[in-house]
Amino acid sequence: MAKFVFKMENILEIKRKLEEQAKIAYAEALAALAEQERILSELKDKRHEYEMRLTGEIQSVLKIDDIRTLDSAIEVMKYKIQVQIGHVEQAKVVVERARVALHSAAVERKTYEKLKEKAFEEYKKELNIQEKKEIDELVSYTYGVREEIE
């Protein structure tokens, strides 16, 4: 019995490897996004802390230098938060691109796997036809030999 050989097996393996690489890239992009969101959260917490300290300073004895320092620190935090929001948005874009690439790689792999399945089914049909042909020949030969003996 002949062995089934899929002509495009090497392409299918390449597609599987490309899909694995896309999965890794997607996971890395998600990790980068999580890190950027963590930094943003920390900046917002720091700004909130400065705002609370400023409120406390304003309500206590007026120290103009402390109030100015805290007010400028809050402004710096607002700026850093805006910059970090930009980083988060960029990370989201990278994640989306990685997701699309992963989806594309998965579709291509599935396409080649379907081609392989169809080729295997065709191989089984051809093998079945060949076996039936051999059985018919064997039956014909056996019947012919009996006729000659009798």
Confidence at residue 75, expressed as pLDDT on a 0 to 100 scale: 93
Query: At residue 31, what are phi and psi to the nearest 5 degrees?
Result: -65, -40
Q: Which domains does the chain have, with CATH numbers?
A: 16-111 (1.10.287)
Note the pLDDT of residue 150: 60
Question: What six digits make up the tokens of 79?
Answer: 């700026």
- Least confident segment among 6-15, 36-45, 110-119: 6-15
55 band by pLDDT with thresholds 50, 70 and 90: confident
- Residue 42 structure tokens: 């920390």
> What is the percentage of the chain residues whose pLDDT exceeds 90?
62
pLDDT band (50, 70, 90) for residue 14: very high
Q: What pLDDT, in 10s, does the model give residues 39-50?
A: 999 999 999 998
**88, 68 Cβ separation under 8 angstroms:** no
If you average pLDDT over residues 85-101, what whole number do you get?
Answer: 95
Alpha-carbon span 126 to 37, nearest angstrom: 58
SS3 content of the chain, % helix, strand, coil (to 5): 90, 0, 10
- Mean pLDDT (the chain) is 89
Q: How many angstroms separate the Cα of 59 from the Cα of each of 51, 53, 55?
A: 12, 10, 6
